[in-house]
Structure 1
Amino acid sequence: MRVLIAHSFYRQPGGEDRYVDQQAQLLRTRHDCEVLARHNRDLPAGAATARRMAYSSGERDKVLEVIDGFRPDVIHLHNAYPALGPAVHLAAARRKVPLVMTVHNFRLRCPNGYMFTEGAPCRRCERGAYINAVKHRCFPERPQSISYATDLWIHRFMLRLDRHVDLYLTPSRFMHDRMLEWGFRQEAVRVLRNFTDFEPAQPTAGTYGMSVGRLSDEKGLDILVRALAEAGDPPFMIVGDGPARSELEALASRLSLKRLEFLGRVQMERVLSLLREARFIAMPSVWDENAPLAALEAMALGRPLLVSDRGGLPELVQNGEGVTCRASDITGTASGIRRLMDDDELCRSCGARAGARAAREFTPGVHLEGLENAYQLALAGS
């Protein structure tokens, strides 16, 4: 099979970008695969990029050239914004190539993609009232809010891009169910978990807690820092960078946390080394997190999870692979931290279940079979 992956790589690389690279490598073990890549860091800020995101015949024609040259059986789209905009949808429809799309976030119905604003989950724009993105300052700059709100309205109600996708893949049951709430047809949405190719690790109880990812408000890291203080300042490492870092460091200083380390952004090899020695991985998100790749990687390495009850996170610990706490609950999060820090057997048993589940459900082989089945469905349906 010939598969064309299309993706706009983010300015700050994250799990979605890593997944796209890994997916391409996986497909190439059995199929012909090319990646149509755009890099958002190369785009200038301002009106030109906003127009390109709304509609660009030039970008559409470039995608058509790639399709005509590679002649894919199926196209798999990930992030379209802002570099690709509607170009892949429209080019695939013109050439009658089946289009599969993985839904990594809420961008289908939310301009900022998080359904989180003003410090809380938000569903104001679901029905199409995208003016709320401007009213509630869902982006740092007002012009950016206006452009995303306008462009998503154009894509949804004028270009009707949803109808050009033959099959949607969601990495969590939560996202699958949310899309059905939005009115997508059940037969057009399937759950396909992400995967990791890490070698399983022995489920031993490490010495420190750890968090990995972007440091931003929706991740709930301020709750985590306060919970660490309430839990007695256990050893903990926060890996990653982002707009909330300085505030989090200041908060940790005010709370006199001596054993909390902010490591910033580090190389993936270093992240894996730290994960292997960690006692547990905390993901206290206060938004509806979909299915973070870092969680699957931690599970594959036999690390138990401490997650909030938002979005798809509880699905990852439903069989005892970790501990759940209520989102934004400092005391509940502190209780979970203490349980995992004090109980070696709990850490080992949760880690063993996490590793076993990853070996069953999150392997490259399982994922490749899921992709192949999805592509066959898209081909049959088109």
Structure 2
Amino acid sequence: MKILLVNKYHYVKGGSETYYFGLAKLLEEHGNEVIYFAMQDEKNYACPQSEYFSKNVDFNKSMSAVQKLSAGFHALYSFDAKKKIEKLIKDEKPDIVHINLVHRHITLSILNAIQKFNIPVVLTAHDLNCVCPTHTMLCDGKVCDRCVREHSYKPAIEQKCVKNSAMQTYLAVIEAKNYERMHMYDKIDFYICPSDFYRRQFVESHITKNPIVHWVNFLPSGTQYHLCKDIDDYFLFFGRLSVEKGLMSLVKAYHKGNFENKLYLVGDGPLRKDLETYVKENNLTDKVIFTGFQSGDELKKYVEHAKCVILPSEWYENGPYSILEAIAVGKPAIVSNYGGLPEIVDDGITGFICEPNNPDSLCECLKKMNSLSDDEYSRMSESALKKAKDSCDCEAYYNKLMKCYKELIKAKGGNKI
């Protein structure tokens, strides 16, 4: 089978790209052919299909008024991406298209091109862009589900929820209404949500009548599920140092508990300076360790030697790889009770669940982790490992996905290429 994978970035930027490249590897290992469509970027990995990639759009760089207007229209509907993916499909003739992140850069304009050839489309939902103008369900730093609950984008406009900008919010709402008018989401035949929480948001939004399922993200083929023997007595967060990850609550909880364990913050991001200031002002510089960005074997060492991994997110996480990778090596996890996180961690069994935006609740979870006896900790580690094995097996995921692909292709009755 030939599968066309689509994602705005063709280099590892976050969890969606971990999935995108991991899926490509999994499909190829089973004898399938994988081709790609993405956005042009100097950071992209080498790819035979790069000549087809759509033009690069960076909404974060400084732009003139004319450039901003042009970028705004592109975010609504990319004629460039539509034209280029149509040429790619004519030349490569894929059996199925599997979409990941596309909003605002590649855009759903590509669905109109794909539809011409009667090719099935699968979407893995890595964010909430399909149901929320901000794609995060965050407004002024607080979670908000009003647009989903009220089946209206009026709350977004009232709250200027996209970067507190009326103009950017209007553009995001116009994008959403335009897709609704063109029935774009009905042109996607099958939706995969890595968390049941995301699945419920999609169902409640009524964006489509097509199937929406919850499949936990798989871990890559070759993942070695095992318990770590040499454990150091430190707490660990790894990932992007940003507000929505709940890191200010974490350092406040750590400070409140006066713990002897060190706290390692592995990663980088916009909140780092504020975190470092808080740590310095509260005389924690010898105990809270900033390592900067780490990857590969170095990151693996931090995870394997940690006492536990912490992700106290203050937004609706989906199915984060940081926690899946941690439990795959038997690490108990402390997470907040938001989004898909409580689906991964069973409170008191594979870790502990704290209330979001609540340093006191998080502090209590850290204390509970420290109070575990050796036998209790071992049981929790074994339970975490079992959860990973049961939930994240790539072969089971592949079998489900191929069954889905084949049924969709059969239902379409063959393409028109």
The alignment's TM-score, normalised by the length of structure 1, stands at 0.92
Kept in 2, the 8 Å contact 1:54–1:85? The answer is: yes
1:39 Cα deviation (Å)? 4.9
SS at match of 2:135: coil
Residue 186 of structure 1: how far off its partner (Å): 7.2
CA 322–6 in structure 1, closer or farther in 2 if over 3 Å, else same:
same
Deviates more, 1:76-85 or 1:266-275: 266-275
TM-score by length of 2: 0.85
Report runs of 4+ in structure 1 exceeding 6 Å deviation. Answer: none
Change (3 A) 1:351 1:133: farther
Deviation digits for residues 49-106 of structure 1 (CA, Å, limit 9, x no counterpart): 3222212323211111111112111100001122211232111212111000011111
Judge conservation of contact 1:222–1:248 (CA < 8 Å) in 2: yes
The answer to whether residue 139 in structure 2 is matched with residue 147 in structure 1 is no
**AA aligned opposite 1:32:** E
Cross-structure match for 1:246: 273
Unaligned runs of 5+ in 2: 44-55, 60-67, 413-417
Distance in 2 separating the partners of 1:10 and 1:35? 9
Q: Residue 191 of structure 2 aligns to which amino acid in structure 1?
A: Y
Correspondence for 1:370: 400
Counterpart for residue 327 of structure 1: 356
Structure 1 portions without partners, runs of 5+: none
**1:39 & 1:278 partners in 2: Cα distance?**
38
Q: Whole-Å Cα distance in 1 between the matches of residues 104 and 10 of structure 2?
A: 9
* SS of corresponding position for 1:196: coil
Q: Hey, what's the Cα distance between the residues in 1 that align with 2:154 and 2:375?
A: 49
Instruction: Name which of 214, 227, 240 aligns with 1:202.
Output: 227
CA distance in 2, matches of 1:322, 1:196: 20
> More deviation in 305-314 or 110-119?
110-119
Give the AA of the match of 1:117: C
Query: Partners in 2 of 1:375 and 1:67 — Cα distance?
Result: 17
| Residues 166, 381 of structure 1: 8 Å contact kept | no
Aligned-partner Cα distance in 2 for 1:162–1:191: 17
The secondary structure found in structure 2 opposite 1:229 is helix
Match runs of 1:55-134 below 5 Å: 55-126=77-148, 127-129=151-153, 132=156
Question: Match for residue 340 of structure 1?
Answer: 369
- Offset at residue 159 of structure 1 (A): 2.1
Query: Shift of the alpha carbon at 1:264?
Result: 2.1
Equivalent in the alignment of 2:160: 136
1:302: which partner in 2?
330
SS in 2 for 1:38: coil
Pick aligned residue for 1:273 from 295, 301, 304: 301
Find the aligned partners of 1:168 and 1:332 in 2 and give their Cα distance: 35
Q: How far, CA to CA, are the matches of 2:398 and 2:12 in structure 1?
A: 27
* Aligned position for 2:76: 54
SS, match of residue 309 in structure 2? strand
The more displaced of 84-93 and 370-379 is 370-379
Match of residue 264 from structure 2 = 237
Secondary structure at the residue paired with 2:232? coil
- When residues 10 and 322 of structure 1 are mapped into structure 2, their CA distance, relative to the original with a 3 A threshold, is farther
Among 25, 35, 43, the alignment partner of 2:57 is: 43
Q: Distance in 1 between matches of 2:34 and 2:12?
A: 25
Tell me how far 1:380 sits from its aligned partner.
4.1
Deviation at 1:206, TM superposition (A): 3.5
The 3 A distance-change label for structure 1 pair 132 and 21 is: same
The corresponding residue for 1:354 is: 384
The verdict on how the C-alpha distance between 1:133 and 1:139 changes in structure 2, with shifts beyond 3 A counting, is farther
Corresponding pairs, count: 381
CA root-mean-square deviation: 2.3
> Which SS does the other structure have where 2:5 is aligned?
strand
Give identity over the alignment, percent: 23
**Stretch of structure 1 that moved more, 251-260 or 138-147:** 138-147
The answer to whether the aligner puts 1:160 opposite 2:183 as a matched pair is yes
Q: Aligned pair in 2 of structure 1 residues 10, 308: CA closer, same or farther (>3 Å)?
A: farther
Q: Deviations over 1:174-198 (max 9, x none)?
A: 1112222122567611111111132
Instruction: Indicate the residue corresponding to 2:33 in structure 1.
Output: 32
Q: Return the offset for 1:355.
A: 1.2
Distance 1:202 1:12 in 2: 27
Q: Distance in 1 between matches of 2:411 and 2:137?
A: 31
SS at structure 2 position matched to 1:179 = helix
Task: Provide the secondary structure at the position in 1 that maps to 2:307.
Answer: strand
User: Do the aligned residues in 1 keep the contact of 2:354 with 2:361 (CA within 8 Å)?
Assistant: yes
